[in-house]
Structure 1
Amino acid sequence: MTGTDGFTDFFYPSKDGLRLHARIYGHSNEARTPVVCLPGLTRNVRDFHEFALFLSTHPETPRKVVAFDYRGRGASAYDPEWKNYNIVTEADDVLAGLDTLGIPRAAFIGTSRGGLIIHMLAVMRLSLLKAAIFNDIGPVVEAAGLAHIRSYLESPVQAATFAEVEQAQREIHGADFPALVDEDWVRMVKAIYRDDNGRPVADYDPALINTVVTLDLRQALPALWDQFDALNTIPVMVIRGENTRLLSTETVAEMNRRHPGMEVISIAGQGHPPMLETRDLRERIARFLGQLEKSPDR
C-alpha cells in the first residue's frame, strides 16, 4: 500500500547483514514493465522522487517504480568497511533487493554511478534487464569529471541552514547548470541533504569519500565496453548533459556505433547529471518505456 507521500519504504538485508532501504512507488502491473532507479555516488532515493511519482501515476502507462539507497546512503545502513562501497557489491545489493521483492525483470535507470552498476548487472544477471537508461554515464568515465567530483567532496559544504547550502550549491554547480530555476535548486538540496533538527547534513557516510580520493586520476579507469556490449539485445537510452565533464561526446558516439538504434538525448543548460524531472525529459523517458510493452519479446 502506497503511503501519503506516494511511496512506501522497503527494508531488506544484504548478504553480509546490512539493513538496506528502497522506496516503492505505485503498484505491480502485469501489463507494464517495472522501473528500477539507481542514484549517483553520494546520492539517494530522493533524487528520483518527482520522477518516480510521474511514472507511477502516469495517466496512460502507470508502472511500479523502485528506487534504491545503496549501503552508506540515505536510509541504508553504513558499512564499517568503506572498501565495500564499490559497484560490484552495490550491484549485488540491488539484486538482493529485487529478489526479495520478487521482481525478475525491469527497466533500469542509472544516474552516474547507477549507470556503472547497470554495466555490472549486465554481466551478473543479464536476464534481469528489459531496457537500460544511462543518465550522463557510459563505459568510459572522464578523469576531468572525476576530478571535479573529488574537488567538492574533499571540501564539503559547511552550512547552518538550507538557504546557505543552496547558495553554496549554486556557486559550485551554477556554471554547469544555467538552465535550472529556483525550484530546481531547492529540490536538489533537499535530495542531497537530510534535515537534522533544522540543520542540513549530507545524507551519506563520510567514509564514502575514500572511494574517490584514493583514485589515481593520472591513470584512466578501466573501460566497461565488454559489459556495455552485453546490452546489445535490449533497448538503450543515453541522456547527456550539455555541460557534463564525465561523459564525452566521443564515448556517446562509440556507444551508438556499438548499439545501433540507441536513443540519445542531449540536455541543454545542464551538466552532470541532468535532473530527470526538468524540461520534457520525463515525458520522453515515459514514451521510451512505453515502447517496451509494444515489443514484449525483447
Structure 2
Amino acid sequence: MDRNDIVEHFIRVRDGLTLFAAEYPAAHRQADGNNPLPVVCLPGLSRNSRDFHGFAKAISSDREKPRRVIAVDYRGRGRSDWDPDPSRYQLSVEAGDVLEICGALDIDAAIFVGTSRGGLILHLLPGMAPGLSRANILNDIGPVIEIGGLLAIARYLNDEGRYASWRAAAMALKMLHGPAFPALQASDWDDMAQSLYREAEGIIIPDFDPALVAPLLELSAETPLADLWPLFDRLRDQPLMVIRGETSSLLSQKTVSDMAQHHPGLHALTVPGQGHAPLLHLPGVIEPIADFLATLA
C-alpha cells in the first residue's frame, strides 16, 4: 500500500487520548483561488483510515477538482490510542472526537463520507456542530439497520483470527466475505487485509481493540434498535448520497427507497457484486461519487 505524500496527524483530545488522522493534500490549487470543501472520511466499527486509502488518493488527485481529504482512526482503532475505559466506545464520544480532529485541522466546513458506523456518526453531527457538514455520503448505512446483518458482524468480529502471513489473512477474508463480494479480485482482498490488520511480532492480527465487540455480543434478533429517522431528517437540507452494496445485509433496498421519500434530492447508488460495505475506490463506484462531488462547492 503506497502511502507516500500522506500527512500524518496525531491529535490529543479532551480525555488525554491521542488520535490519528491521515491527510491527503489536494494535488493542486484551483486557478481561481477558491479551493473546494475538504472531504472527511469516517470508517466502520472495526475499520480505520486505511480503509479509505484508494478513495482518498483518487479524490485528492481529481483532475478537475482535487480536494483535501482527511481519513480518521477512531479511538481503539488503527494508530489511535485504545481507550482504557471501554464504555467510551460509543457513537457520541466518537462524534466528539471527530469534532476535535476537525478543529485541530482547521476544518470548519466539509463534505463527510461515513461507512457503516461512520454514517451513524454523520447522523449526530448536525445536532452537535450545525454547519460543519455541508454534504454527506452514507456508505451502506441508513436510519434503519437490519438486525440480522448486525448480528453477523458481531459473529465474525468475535471470531477474528491471527494469521501467519498477509496472504493467509487475505485468503481468510475471501473465505468469509467472498460470497457477498463476487466483484472483488485477488488484489482487492490483499488490500482489504492491509487495511484491517497489522503485524505484531510476526503475526497478522486485527487492528482494533477487541473490547469494541462486547456490546454487539449482547444483541439478539429481538433487540429493539433506536429510531434514527428524526436524526436522518436533519440531513434533509444538505446534498446527500447513499451507496448500498447489492448484497448488503445491513441496509435494505426498502430503507433506501424510504430515505428517498424523506430526502427528495437523494442520490442513490447500488453497487453490483459488493456487500457490506462497498469499497469506494473501485470502478463503477468512484466515478458516481466523483460526479456527485463535482456538483458541490
TM-score per shorter chain, which class? over 0.9
Q: Secondary structure at the match of 1:37?
A: strand
**Superposed displacement of residue 4, structure 1:** 6.5
Separation in structure 2 between the aligned mates of residue 186 and residue 57 of structure 1, nearest angstrom = 23
CA distance in 1, matches of 2:100, 2:3: 27
Give 1:26 shift.
Answer: 0.8
- Structure 2 residue 254 is the aligned partner of structure 1 residue 250: yes
Output one character per residue of 1:230-256: Cα deviation in whole Å (capped at 9) or x when no partner. Answer: 111110000000000000111111110
Q: Distance in 1 between matches of 2:221 and 2:46?
A: 19
Q: Deviations over 1:159-185 (max 9, x none)?
A: 211111111111110110011011111
Q: 1:82 to 1:60 in 2, by over 3 A?
A: same
Stretch deviating more after TM superposition (210-219 or 53-62): 210-219
Structure 2: distance between partners of 1:4 and 1:182: 20
| Residue aligned with 2:113, SS | strand
Q: Which residue of 1 aligns with 2:272?
A: 268
Which moved further from structure 2: 211-220 or 149-158?
211-220
Stretch of structure 1 that moved more, 233-242 or 203-212 = 203-212
- Counterpart of 1:177 (choices 159, 178, 181) is 181
* Structure 1 stretches of 4+ moved >6 Å: none
1:270-298 residue CA offsets vs partner (Å, 9 max, x unmatched): 100000011221121111111012xxxxx
Equivalent residue runs for 1:111-126 within 5 Å: 111-126=115-130
C-alpha distance after superposition, 1:143-173 (max 9, x if no partner): 0111110111121123211111111111110
Q: Does 1:290 align with 2:289?
A: no
Alignment check: 8 A CA contact 2:162 2:206 kept: no
Q: Which residue of 2 aligns with 1:135?
A: 139
**Pairwise CA distance, 1:219:** 1.7
Q: Is the 8 A contact 1:243 1:269 kept in 2?
A: yes
User: How much is the aligned-residue C-alpha RMSD, in angstroms?
Assistant: 1.5
Partner of 2:225: 221
Q: Report the CA distance between 1:122 and its aligned residue.
A: 2.1
User: Which residues of 2 match residues 199-238 of structure 1 at below 5 A?
Assistant: 199-238=203-242
For residue 50 of structure 1, give the secondary structure of its aligned residue in structure 2. helix
Segment of structure 1 superposing worse, 29-38 or 55-64: 29-38
Q: Secondary structure at the match of 1:156?
A: coil
Is 1:68 matched with 2:76? no
Give distance in 2, aligned partners of 1:15 and 1:112. Answer: 25
1:55-108 Cα shifts (integer Å, max 9, x gaps): 111111111000000000000000011111111100000000101111110000
Query: What is the identity percentage for the equivalent residue pairs of Structure 1 and Structure 2?
Result: 44
Q: Which amino acid in 2 is paired with 1:215?
A: L
Q: Which residue of 2 aligns with 1:95?
A: 99
Task: Tell me if structure 2 keeps the 8 A contact 1:130–1:235.
Answer: yes
Post-superposition offset of 1:198:
3.9
Equivalent residue letter for 2:188: D
Counterpart of 1:292 in 2: which secondary structure?
A: coil
- Unaligned runs of 5+ residues in structure 2 are none
Asked if the contact 2:46–2:77 (Cα under 8 Å) also holds between the matched residues in 1, the reply is: yes
- Quick one: structure 1 residues 4 and 82, their matched pair in 2 at CA, closer, same or farther if it must change by over 3 Å? closer
Q: Shift in Å at residue 213 of structure 1?
A: 1.1
User: Is 1:50–1:277's contact at 8 Å kept on the other side of the alignment?
Assistant: yes
Q: Does 1:20 align with 2:24?
A: no
CA contact (8 A) 1:82 1:210 kept: no
Q: CA deviation digits over 1:108-127, x for unaligned, max 9? A: 00000000000011221131
Q: CA deviation at 1:39?
A: 0.2
Distance 1:212 1:4, change over 3 A: closer
Question: Is 1:37 the equivalent of 2:41?
Answer: yes
SS of residue paired to 2:143: coil
Label 1:54 to 1:164 Cα distance change in 2 as closer, same or farther (>3 A).
same
Instruction: Tell whether 2:15 aligns with 1:11.
Output: no
Q: Distance in 2 between matches of 1:254 and 1:121?
A: 21
- The TM-score with structure 2 as length reference comes to 0.95
Structure 2: distance between partners of 1:284 and 1:230? 24
Preserved CA contact (<8 Å) 2:41 2:72: yes
Assess if the C-alpha contact under 8 Å between 2:243 and 2:271 holds in 1: yes
Tell me, yes or no, if the aligned pair for 2:198 and 2:206 is still in contact at 8 Å. Answer: yes
Q: What amino acid is the match of 1:6?
A: D
Q: 1:216 to 1:83 in 2, by over 3 A?
A: farther
Q: Is the 8 A contact 2:49 2:78 kept in 1?
A: yes
Q: What code does the residue aligned with 1:7 have?
A: I
Residue in 2 that maps onto 1:296: none
Q: Secondary structure at the match of 1:265?
A: strand
